[in-house]
Amino acid sequence: MTDLFVPLQSLKQGDWFKLICGASFQHLPAVRSLTLAYTLAGADCIDVAADPAVIAAAQSGLQAAKSLAKDAQKRGFDYKGNLPFLMVSLNDGEDPHFRKAEFNPHECPTDCPRPCERICPAQAIVFDSIKEDFSGVVSEKCYGCGRCIPVCPYSIIYTASYVTTPGAIAPLVMSTGVDAVEIHTQVGRLAEFERLWQAISPWADKLKLLAISCPDGEGMIDYLKTLYDRIAPLKGALIWQTDGRPMSGDIGDGTTIAAVKLGQKVLAAKLPGYVQLAGGTNKYTVAKLKAMGLLNDFRLPVLDFRLEEANPQSKIQNPKSKISGVAYGSYARVLLSPILEQLENKEVSNTNMKATVRLEEDEVLLWQAVELAHSLVSQIKSQQEH
């Protein structure tokens, strides 16, 4: 079993954990820190906004986590260095936003050391360029990573949001090397879904996982069956994400009951693929699932995933009609917010410029964050321990 397939193993075992950074959450340092902490804590998937800058921040967090695998093991965390899937969320019915850096080069003092130019990974910031015949941000090159903003000594760099269609943004985000895609849809949006799927389809065979997220509504099961007919056959795994109360942010047990009930409804339909809860998930969710017998309480045999790859026509079935995993959004983010706030208040001085401290640069805060993340991840992972 290669590291590549560890998240799929979790799906089969029924202890899949996904972190939802948020479809509109574009605070890059926080995305990076959340990705780093939850990866070290054992998450199987990191779900981020369909924004190249956010994707880049998450990828940076993933690589930082991999370099800390041995330290995590020494501290008792069961992280082996395997990377979770990086997923992007696309909505078939709303225009996505993404951002680019901007500034007026005439406001930049001539004696400025121009750290923005040096730090830009896309070489999108130029001054008096003969080749570009331009000074400022070359829009076509900028992907909005935001690294230039905190290093500007005069705080004149800002970001501007741009709006595009889901079909137009899909090729941009798919080319970044993400592992998985989640499509947010609703009953009655079949035409919109088909347009988005057509934009994604050139990359479909390279995806390790496709998730479809749909809130409840009249005719939902028939709608999901229709969607499956449109996307089959799939080479990768398929998840039905059941949004009990989308973006609720509620910490009460009422929201988790709504999420569980919707999960039961989709399980009963026996659709090909795995069922994963979201929308209102919190500290009560796993306990509720266990009490209702909806989680596997034993480790399933490790399967050879290469057999599924060799036969893409095969339908992936949930082996025992159990919930295969849980996704956490605002609850998971809020859990780490005290650590992230402390980190944001810390700054390091670099050649008389202030820059944001990365989580791994503060060892105390790093492992406090991982411990908090692990307290949530371990709720579903602990079912392996029998």
Q: Residue 85 forms beta bridges with which residues?
A: 45
Between 116-120, 201-205, 315-319, the lowest mean confidence (pLDDT) is in: 315-319
User: What sign does the dihedral 185-15-170-164 (CA atoms) show?
Assistant: positive
Task: Tell which wins on pLDDT, 303 or 115.
Answer: 115
| Beta bridge partner(s), residue 326 | 17, 277
Assess whether pLDDT exceeds 50 at residue 306: no
Mean pLDDT of 283-305: 71
Task: Note whether 151 and 355 are within 8 A (CB).
Answer: yes
**Angstrom distance (rounded) from CA 328 to CA 344:** 23
Closest CA to 341 of 27, 60, 54: 27
Confidence band of 305 (pLDDT split at 50, 70, 90): very low
Q: Whole-angstrom distance between the N-terminal and C-terminal Cα of the chain?
A: 22
Q: 245 pLDDT band (50/70/90 cuts)?
A: low
The yes-or-no verdict on residue 18 having pLDDT over 50 is yes
Which residues 6+ apart lie within 8 Å of 372 measured at CB? Answer: 37, 335, 336, 339
- Of residues 287, 257, 376, 274, the one with CA closest to residue 322: 274
Among the ranges given (38-47, 116-125, 161-170, 221-230), the one the predictor scored with the smallest mean pLDDT = 161-170
pLDDT higher than 90, residue 253: no
pLDDT tens sequence across 114-123: 999 988 877 8
Structure tokens belonging to residue 376: 């949530």
The beta-carbon contacts of 137-143 under 8 Å, at least 24 apart in sequence, are: 137/100, 137/101, 137/102, 137/103, 139/100, 142/100, 142/101, 143/52, 143/53, 143/56, 143/100
Query: Binning pLDDT at 50, 70 and 90, where does residue 386 land?
Result: very low
